[in-house]
Chains A and B, each alone.
Chain A
Amino acid sequence: MATARQHHRRGRTGFRCCSACPVHDMAEMSPMNRKLTQSLAESISKQVEHFNRTEVEFLIREFHVLMGEQTTLGRTVSGLDRGRFRSFLHNNFGMTDDMIMDGVFRTFDKDNDGFVNMREWIDGLSVFLRGTLDEKIEYCFQVYDLNSDNYISREEMFHMLKDSLIRQPTDDDPDEGIKDLVEITLKRMDHDHDGRLSFSDFEKAVRDENLLLEAFGTCLPDSMSTEAFEKLVFQEQLEQ
């Protein structure tokens, strides 16, 4: 019942879970299940940096809510698939860039199995919502390292930035601006002058200038949406 109300409320406050999510399942969560969740939360919260036990518990529930549809289909899947995760990012944090969202998914999905499972979900959100600068540097680097070769190459940069400038019809080479921007950025960040960004290049550049953390696209939530999301997941449920 609780979740039903909750979903209703979400509708009112403008929060949309995945649009297809039917109102059911968790309502039937047995006391047994609840206890299981609690002990699971207990153990995870000891391993996760930025969430306490209750918060983990809520995140688990939220995970189940997001998973809702998948479970009803009867298939046993281990987590959120790419599409579901992307719509989660889009709905809650206003992300639109496909490439970046793919990157975020890839970064969350540590075991690379195409699904974000519960543990990956909580670990990922820990950095995503509350990470320290160090954690975020690592996270962003992974997002931008499209082919996971531990370097951000010129091509990757170009790829990520290709739509970031308005193309003037008068330009001879429409990509000239982007190329130049990539060069400028590379010149600034590539400290070992090998034509690509290693993690240490990236880390040093960001430490010099924090603005470069999300240099190649927004992959972290801004403070407003973080606040809204946390409020929604943690506080509203607390009220019950």
Chain B
Amino acid sequence: MGISLSRGAKWTTAGSGTAKLELTPMNESLMNEILRFVEQFSSQHPEEAEHVFDEPLQWTTALVASDFESESDYDISDSDIQSQEKDREGHPLLQLSPPVVNVRSFRQLSKLVNLAEAKRLGEVQACLEGNRDPLVKILGQDFADLLKRDDADTDVSHMQDQGKDQDQIKSSEVKVKLFQLLQIMDQRLINKLLEGISEKVKLDPTAVKNEVELLKKLCSEGEERFLKSIRYTSDFEFPNGCRAPLWRQAHGDMCYLVIEPYETENLYITCSSDGDFLNGGIQQMEDDSSYERKSEVFVDLVALLKSRFPNFSMNINKQDSAVQECPSTERSQHGDAVEQGRPHRSYEQQEGFVDMKARQQHTPVGADDGKKYKPCLRWKTLGLACACGDVEIKKCLRNSGETIGEKQNKQLGLGAKTNAVFSLHGPVSSQKMKTTAGALPVDHFSESSSESEDEEEQAERHPESSTDLPAEYWQIQKLVKYLKGGDQTATVLTLCAMMDFNLMQETCQLAIRDLGGLEVLINLLNTDEVKCKIGSLKILRKISHNVQIRRTIVDMGGLQSIIKILDSPVMDLKALAAETIANVARFHRGRRTVRQYAGIKKLVKLLDCVPNFANLNTNEEKDVDVARCGALALWSCSKSIKNKEAIRNAGAIPLLGHLLKSPHENMLIPVVGTLQECASEESYRIAIQKEGMIKDLVKNLTSNNDELQMHCASAIFKCAEDKQTRDLVRKYKGLQSLVLLLGKAENKQLLAAATGAIWKCSISKENVAKFQEYKALETLIGLLTDQPEDVLVNVVGALGEFAQIPANKTTVRKCGGIKPLVHLLTRTNQALLVNVTKAVGACATDKDNMVIIDQLDGVRLLWSLLKNPSADVQSSAAWALCPCIENAKDAGEMVRSLVGGLELIVNLLKSTNNEVLASICAAIAKIAKDKENLAVLTDHGVVPLLSKLTNTRDVKLRHHLADAIGHCCMWGSNRVSFGVAGAVAPLVCYLKSQDSAVHQSTAMALYQLSKDPNNCITMHEKRVVKPLIHIMGSNEETIQEAAAACVRNIRLLSLANRKAQLFQ
């Protein structure tokens, strides 16, 4: 811990006083590791945990007295707490007088972090911050010094010898052990850190220099210079190439840069060996605080600049290629870098990989020096807003001489610009405009998107003073004027002129809105002039890619007008209106409005087109196009649950089923998209199957279009919960297509959908057999590593199903699937954990597999998942433990080696979830086969807990509960205890249930219980004999035997009783 802490952890360096641990990912993992260590310490090393520290660890805690109330072994007086555990001098080992806490043993430390619950990480941080050298305090100076030395091992024995008298030797033995444990821990931490560090490339002064030179070139070349200047803060260069003052070089800083962009405030950048980041504004020599990090760390300058300026990458590309465009296009760059329309999210973005949450927006400000844009940053995470954003904002204000009131206006919209930021990071970096169906909603399929992922809270952007607006703004202003004052002919001409602008560009979109154009466009929709309406809709369908425009359209009541147009007899109008609705209905309020104004019905009506898709004439083609647009609109609408219902009620399902037969991808994508979106509802799943759509869905799995394949696969994924559907997929030879899709591993969304479909299909055993023909299992095992989590969830789910068949268990092992599976047990995603535990459990039923699982410490991992907060994970982990315990070589010893494990499992009997209870009972039944473990279970009070559960009506729980009781009878006076706790009478009632599994386990339990005379009496009173005799007629020999033996015991007792009476 010593080495890793002093070398690995990043301390904030600023100022005096107590240093703080920075919130870097590395520190966080470090603290997590320490936390886990401390948490498990007292259970894993009870003896060492007792050791009293040389000096107490002291820190400022967030815990208060009430946090300790749940524990009995603390003395609480007012707000002060003292532990009952004392050292030899009688000092309490834990003492809390808020806000300071003193702790003197690991045992107390573990307890404390366990009590802290959610605050635990904070406590660890506070502790580390308060005790910069914890080892000295724990072990004393001598030991700590040793630990810090690398060759510590050899010296330990010396220390041991130095112990003078017996007592000291004893305590020093413990100390040495503790010392060794800490050392191992330290080693582990360092390894972990190394792993992290080795992934990062360390920067060196030459690399920085080269990059600065490159950027300097960009400053001097080209008409579209982006950066005004870039300079070092210091001209003096040390021999090692660094320019930072020596004392800062110790922190890894190499030099400081001031970058002067054209359109924004200067950037102050620190180049350090770990990467580049914004600092507090180092000019020359300033106070310490300016050295503090104010942004994320970027790998190089270009990455930093890219994140600050969405259009920087464009610039750098442009300047690289040395293409000089005419100056008039300069202004439009801002928009070009912006990708409008629906965010085309990549996996990383969905997974939250994108660390860049700073969203940026350029605002024209009435600055004194002509054209100048100022950025305002919004740091969403990390709470850096005040540090950086405010400074920027204030500067903006000062420069433009605006009032504080306008500050609000500058908390700018995020809008479509964020996409540009994203696209720089995600692998799908599409700078191109997206208008076609292909760009439509692709970003949700695993579950119907919740309505909350809406764009409503987007901030506003306001028109600012006009001196520096782009030329388009003025042209659009003129056009809007003509629109307002023109007759039909002039209006149409003006609309056509407006279409010539780049309507996908935000400046244009917002200019149209801000200049009152949107209002006119919407008014035109209410006229009788078909051509004006067409023109207006052609513009609206494009600008409605902008989220703010969508909102404004709905605010102005424009959506109602558009919905009305759906009734028009003119095909073009209908198609355009539907297309516009497809955009506008991408946010919650839009979707609701469509529903409320009967738009769903009208849209569904559009789907009704030609009876077959071959040999269409022009008119029919138009008809089909209208249907396509209708499907697009319905797709957008189908993201609300109420809309799904409305769509179904409007009779869309058969129509969609008909359109599904279309040969055209652009039709199929919205249709299948809608279907898979709606398939989250049971009613749709049934309908999809009944309407025979599975056949078409399967057919389109072989399409050439990835997106279509993905939607088909995810529709099957959702529908294949149903057995008949699974059979149909097999019947139409869809299984092979699904396996083929696994080959497209680079498209993660497609892969997730395909693996999902395979998972659900493999629930049917016949399908698994079929999958085997296509070597699906081998491919799936290959997908166990390096995949995003939603792929993993599905892959592992499928493996769990495959492994239900014995032959596949061997295959999993032979293909090396066990190891990655066991590794996945350390993940945190609950859906994944449920599936992984299930798969591991299925594999563990094979003895050879179990050996490997045991070697990989899989049982311990499974066991620790019992602590997972999710009941699903708990139960599925417990189920998985059953075969593990059954098949492990030395199961009893293995279970015992998990310190605290048995207590944990007994405590889970207090759960309120029947599935958890059933699984835990099943696990207890397995554990109890080992006498020693049963003894421990009994000590932990398993008997009363089980007895308490006997009143359940849950069949599954009854089965496993009776099983557990039967097995727990085998120890000491447990039989009597069960009787005393009143478990016998309810068990007799179980015999009345219909389930034969319950009968079996109950009979066994009753047999065991009947060995105690008092239980026999209870049973007899509850009229057990008749049902038992009935059960004796069972086919199972063991049941027969158990029932008979039970009756025999009762009979014997009664005979003995009579004898006793006779001979009295």
Choose among B489, B499, B569 the residue that contacts A214 (Cβ–Cβ < 8 A): B489
- Tell whether A165 pairs with B492 under 8 Å between CB atoms, given A184-B497, A211-B531: no
Chain A residue at smallest Cβ distance from B488 = A218
- Tell whether A181 pairs with B493 under 8 Å between CB atoms, given A164-B486, A222-B530: yes
Q: Which residues of A contact B280 (CB under 8 A)?
A: none
Scoring B residues 977 to 1019 as 1 if CB is less than 8 Å from chain A, else 0, what string do you get?
Answer: 0000000000000000000000000000000000000000000
A180 within 8 A of B: yes
Q: Which residues of A contact B490 (CB under 8 A)?
A: 161, 164-165, 181
Q: Are A163 and B487 in contact (CB under 8 A)?
A: yes
A10 within 8 A of B: no
Q: Are B531 and A165 in contact (CB under 8 A)?
A: no
Chain B residue at smallest Cβ distance from A182 = B493
Closest CB in chain A relative to B571 CB, distance in Å: 10
Closest CB in chain A relative to B542 CB, distance in Å: 13
- Separation of A71 and B478 alpha carbons in the complex (Å): 54
Q: Are A165 and B535 in contact (CB under 8 A)?
A: no
Q: Are A188 and B496 in contact (CB under 8 A)?
A: yes
Chain A interface residue count, Cβ-Cβ cutoff 8 angstroms:
23
Q: Are A181 and B531 in contact (CB under 8 A)?
A: no
Choose among A184, A216, A222 the residue that contacts B489 (Cβ–Cβ < 8 A): A216
Q: Which residues of A contact B499 (CB under 8 A)?
A: 209
Q: Are B492 and A214 in contact (CB under 8 A)?
A: yes
Q: Are B497 and A185 in contact (CB under 8 A)?
A: yes
Scoring A residues 160 to 178 as 1 if CB is less than 8 Å from chain B, else 0, what string do you get?
Answer: 1101111010000000010
Choose among B485, B489, B495 the residue that contacts A161 (Cβ–Cβ < 8 A): B489
- Tell whether A185 pairs with B493 under 8 Å between CB atoms, given A211-B531, A211-B535, A223-B570: yes
Q: Are B492 and A168 in contact (CB under 8 A)?
A: no
- Separation of A186 and B488 alpha carbons in the complex (Å): 18
B38 within 8 A of A: no
A44 within 8 A of B: no
A103 within 8 A of B: no
Q: Are B489 and A215 in contact (CB under 8 A)?
A: yes
Closest CB in chain B relative to A139 CB, distance in Å: 16
Q: Which residues of A contact B535 (CB under 8 A)?
A: 211
- Separation of A165 and B487 alpha carbons in the complex (Å): 6
Q: Which residues of A contact B497 (CB under 8 A)?
A: 184-185, 188
Q: Which residues of B contact A211 (CB under 8 A)?
A: 492, 495-496, 531, 534-535, 538
A212 within 8 A of B: yes
B482 within 8 A of A: yes
B494 within 8 A of A: yes
Q: Which residues of B contact A217 (CB under 8 A)?
A: 489
B500 within 8 A of A: yes
Q: Are B496 and A164 in contact (CB under 8 A)?
A: no
Interface centre among B489, B496, B497, B535, by most chain A C-beta atoms within 10 angstroms, is: B489
- Tell whether A214 pairs with B487 under 8 Å between CB atoms, given A181-B482, A181-B494, A223-B570: no
Closest CB in chain B relative to A9 CB, distance in Å: 25
Question: Would you list which residues of chain A between 167 and 210 have a CB under 8 Å from chain B?
Answer: 168, 177, 180-181, 184-185, 188, 209
Q: Which residues of A contact B496 (CB under 8 A)?
A: 185, 188, 209, 211-212, 215
- Separation of A149 and B493 alpha carbons in the complex (Å): 23
Scoring B residues 460 to 485 as 1 if CB is less than 8 Å from chain A, else 0, what string do you get?
Answer: 00000000000000000011011001
- Separation of A209 and B487 alpha carbons in the complex (Å): 19
Closest CB in chain B relative to A233 CB, distance in Å: 21
Q: Which residues of B contact A163 (CB under 8 A)?
A: 487
- Separation of A227 and B490 alpha carbons in the complex (Å): 26
- Tell whether A180 pairs with B570 under 8 Å between CB atoms, given A165-B490, A214-B531, A222-B530: no
- Separation of A152 and B494 alpha carbons in the complex (Å): 19
- Separation of A166 and B496 alpha carbons in the complex (Å): 19
Closest CB in chain A relative to B567 CB, distance in Å: 15
- Separation of A177 and B535 alpha carbons in the complex (Å): 20
Scoring A residues 107 to 125 as 1 if CB is less than 8 Å from chain B, else 0, what string do you get?
Answer: 0000000000000000000
Choose among A166, A215, A218, A223 the residue that contacts B493 (Cβ–Cβ < 8 A): A215
Chain A residue at smallest Cβ distance from B570 = A223
Q: Are B531 and A164 in contact (CB under 8 A)?
A: no
- Separation of A223 and B568 alpha carbons in the complex (Å): 12
Interface centre among A160, A168, A185, by most chain B C-beta atoms within 10 angstroms, is: A185
Interface centre among B488, B496, B499, B531, by most chain A C-beta atoms within 10 angstroms, is: B496
Q: Which residues of A contact B534 (CB under 8 A)?
A: 211
- Separation of A177 and B495 alpha carbons in the complex (Å): 15
Q: Are B489 and A164 in contact (CB under 8 A)?
A: yes
- Tell whether A166 pairs with B494 under 8 Å between CB atoms, given A211-B534, A222-B530, A223-B570: no
Q: Which residues of B contact A188 (CB under 8 A)?
A: 496-497, 500
Question: Would you list which residues of chain B between 338 and 384 have a CB under 8 Å from chain A?
Answer: none
Closest CB in chain A relative to B203 CB, distance in Å: 52
Q: Which residues of A contact B489 (CB under 8 A)?
A: 160-161, 164, 214-218
Q: Are A168 and B485 in contact (CB under 8 A)?
A: yes
Closest CB in chain B relative to A67 CB, distance in Å: 32
Closest CB in chain A relative to B420 CB, distance in Å: 29
Choose among B485, B492, B531 the residue that contacts A177 (Cβ–Cβ < 8 A): B485
- Separation of A215 and B39 alpha carbons in the complex (Å): 79
Chain B residue at smallest Cβ distance from A216 = B489
Scoring B residues 487 to 523 as 1 if CB is less than 8 Å from chain A, else 0, what string do you get?
Answer: 1111011111101100000000000000000000000
- Separation of A177 and B497 alpha carbons in the complex (Å): 14
- Separation of A223 and B490 alpha carbons in the complex (Å): 21
Q: Which residues of B contact A160 (CB under 8 A)?
A: 489
Q: Which residues of B contact A222 (CB under 8 A)?
A: 530
Closest CB in chain B relative to A163 CB, distance in Å: 7
Q: Are A165 and B482 in contact (CB under 8 A)?
A: yes
Scoring A residues 94 to 106 as 1 if CB is less than 8 Å from chain B, else 0, what string do you get?
Answer: 0000000000000
Chain A residue at smallest Cβ distance from B538 = A211
Q: Which residues of B contact A164 (CB under 8 A)?
A: 486-487, 489-490
Closest CB in chain A relative to B474 CB, distance in Å: 12
Closest CB in chain A relative to B623 CB, distance in Å: 16
Closest CB in chain B relative to A148 CB, distance in Å: 21
- Separation of A212 and B496 alpha carbons in the complex (Å): 8
Question: Would you list which residues of chain A between 35 and 87 have a CB under 8 Å from chain B?
Answer: none
Closest CB in chain B relative to A149 CB, distance in Å: 22
- Separation of A170 and B488 alpha carbons in the complex (Å): 23
- Separation of A24 and B570 alpha carbons in the complex (Å): 40
Closest CB in chain A relative to B508 CB, distance in Å: 16
Q: Which residues of A contact B538 (CB under 8 A)?
A: 211
- Separation of A217 and B488 alpha carbons in the complex (Å): 8
Q: Which residues of B contact A212 (CB under 8 A)?
A: 492-493, 496
- Separation of A225 and B538 alpha carbons in the complex (Å): 24
Q: Which residues of B contact A185 (CB under 8 A)?
A: 493, 496-497
Closest CB in chain B relative to A181 CB, distance in Å: 6
- Separation of A212 and B531 alpha carbons in the complex (Å): 9
Q: Are A223 and B486 in contact (CB under 8 A)?
A: no
Closest CB in chain B relative to A94 CB, distance in Å: 11
Question: Would you list which residues of chain A between 124 and 164 have a CB under 8 Å from chain B?
Answer: 160-161, 163-164
Closest CB in chain A relative to B47 CB, distance in Å: 86
Choose among B485, B495, B530, B570 the residue that contacts A165 (Cβ–Cβ < 8 A): B485
Closest CB in chain B relative to A214 CB, distance in Å: 7
- Separation of A181 and B481 alpha carbons in the complex (Å): 11
Q: Which residues of A contact B486 (CB under 8 A)?
A: 164-166, 181
- Separation of A222 and B482 alpha carbons in the complex (Å): 24
Closest CB in chain B relative to A6 CB, distance in Å: 27
Q: Are B482 and A177 in contact (CB under 8 A)?
A: yes
- Separation of A222 and B489 alpha carbons in the complex (Å): 14
- Tell whether A215 pairs with B530 under 8 Å between CB atoms, given A166-B485, A188-B497, A209-B499: no
Q: Which residues of A contact B492 (CB under 8 A)?
A: 211-212, 214-215
Q: Which residues of B contact A165 (CB under 8 A)?
A: 482, 485-487, 490
Interchain Cβ contacts under 8 Å between A and B, 6 examples: A161-B490, A177-B485, A181-B490, A184-B493, A209-B499, A211-B534
4 further interface pairs, Cβ-Cβ under 8 Å (given A166-B485, A181-B482, A211-B538):
A177-B482, A185-B493, A215-B496, A223-B569
In the complex, the 9 A-B pairs of residues with the closest C-beta atoms, listed nearest first = A164-B490, A166-B485, A164-B487, A184-B497, A164-B489, A165-B486, A217-B489, A185-B493, A165-B485
